[in-house]
Every structure is written in C-alpha cells, then in structure tokens.
Amino acid sequence: MSDPARPQNPGYDDSYRAFDSPLMQQLRREAYGKDIGQHSWVTAEDLEEDIPRLKLSRTSHFLDLGCGPGGPLAFVAQRVGCHGSGLDISAEAVAAGRTRAAVLGIEALVTLQQSDLNQALPYASRSFAAVMSLDVILHLRDRLAVFREVARVLIPGGRFLFTDAGVITGPVSAEEVQLRAAHGYTQFVPGGFNERMLELAGLRLLEQTDRTSSLLKNAAGRLAARLAHRAELELLEGSSYFEQQQGYLATVVELAQRGAVSRAMYLAESRA
C-alpha cells in the first residue's frame, strides 16, 4: 500500500512500475508465501478471513483506501464478484493496479483513481457497502477526519475494516521512530486511540484483533527475500534505497518482536 501523504521516492515508485516483473513476483512469493499483489503486511489468509466480515454480495460496491497496486482490492472483487473502487496517491500504483485487473480479466469490476486521502473522498454520501484500508491509516494526518469521511460514504450498516501497524504497545526510541517512519509521514498511536476516533466519527466498533504475528512474519520474510536478491534490487532501486529499506524492515521486526509496536485489525459499522 502507498503512503497517501509521503513525498514520492524514486526507488519506491520504480518498484510500482516494475511491480509485476518476474523479480517482484518472486520476492512476494518468498516473503508472503502467496503472491496476491500485496504491498503491505496483508496476506491472502488475512483477506480470506476478512471477506465475510465485510458482508459483501455480488451487487455490493466497496472502497479500498490507499489501494496501492490493487492486489487486495482485486482479490476481494474477484472472490465476491462485486465492484471495487480504489484510491491511491501514486499514479504508478494506480497504473499497476489497472494492469493487474486487466490481466485477471476483471477490469469491469475494478475502478482505480489517483487521490490524496488527506482530502475529502471524491464520492457521494452512502456510496459504498464497505470500506477497507490496509496499513494506510497511520500515514494520514487526521484520522478522525478520515473516519468521518468513511462514515459519510458508507450505507447504513455498512462495514469499515482497517489495519493499523503503528499502535504503540511498549517503549520506542526516537531513533527507532525515525527508522520506522522511513516512508514518510507516520502517526503512531497508543492503544485505545483508534477506538475513540471511530466512536467520535459515528462508527460502532464490532471487533479488534491483534495481527502483529502476521506483520512479524511478513517483515522477516521481506527482509530475507530482499537480501537474497540484493544485486538485482540494487540495480533497480540503488544501493542507498536498498539499505534504507533493509533498515526499515529490520526495525519493524525488532519492534514487533519485543512488543513495542503492534499491528491491529479493526472492524466497525456505520450507525447512520
């Protein structure tokens, strides 16, 4: 998933342009076990577990905030047979997502649009049966405003499922914060903060689940996979960016291992 507030990094965007190259597909298989075109901590197993939570049918329309190259969005749309819309600030990610939908033969089910999620959502009220946002909320500057926009575009009783990989659950140093925020603006929050923001936005929390174990597994997998393909990645990204990403992933692993920064899944429902 892309950071909707971050400055565009040439190495990061190059990875989107080459997102479905043989190298990137191999990295995802090694890191995640199953390649569904993900670019965050999500796995196919997570999504399969979460699809019933969204209560989608073939006639539903759902929204993915910070969809990146559209892997999870396409996965859900294809599994359910419903229409999915995605927003991301990166033009390269949107282009990669459109290509993925075309290759899968589901371009009629998937609509991708470039948009800054720090702004109002470009949709009418009550447009969606469900909204999901996977590991993106921590990169937005005002999550209460985002949650209120989600509440606005959901139909009555619509579901909102998001993951936050920046929940502080232990001591973290300033150096670790800097390394963990390598992709740009990152907002770390204490436990209970997301729950309060959902309540203030008029969304009723239904479920909260710890998913730090999947983050730890994926971060360690990505770290090892990238190291195994170092020479190829340095040609694509440059040595400096490669080292930055390795430092980022190593920090994610360390913080998760000692229980300092956790990843949580939240499921809420519109009250309107």
In the chain, % of residues over pLDDT 70: 94
pLDDT band at 183 (very low <50, low <70, confident <90, very high): confident
Whether 262 shows a pLDDT value over 90: the answer reads yes
Whether 1 shows a pLDDT value over 90: the answer reads no
Dist CA 82 CA 1 (whole Å): 21
What phi and psi values does residue 220 have, to the nearest 5 degrees?
Answer: -65, -40
pLDDT band at 13 (very low <50, low <70, confident <90, very high): low
Q: In this predicted model, what pLDDT tens digit does every residue of 165-174 receive, in sequence order?
A: 999 999 999 9
Q: What is the dihedral of CA 36, 181, 195, 80, to 10 degrees?
A: -10
DSSP 3-state of 64: strand
CATH classification code of 10-270: 3.40.50.150
What's residue 78's pLDDT?
96
Structure tokens at 231: 């020479």
Q: Which residue has the higher pLDDT, 13 or 79?
A: 79
- For every residue of 142-211, DSSP letters joined together read -HHHHHHHHHHHEEEEEEEEEEEEEEE-S---HHHHHHHTTTS----EETTHHHHHHHHTTEEEEEEEE-
Q: Where are the domains of the chain?
A: 10-270
What's residue 4's pLDDT?
43
What's residue 14's pLDDT?
60
pLDDT mean over 145-161:
98
Number of neighbouring beta carbons within 10 Å of residue 98: 17
pLDDT band at 40 (very low <50, low <70, confident <90, very high): confident
DSSP 3-state of 120: coil
What's residue 47's pLDDT?
94
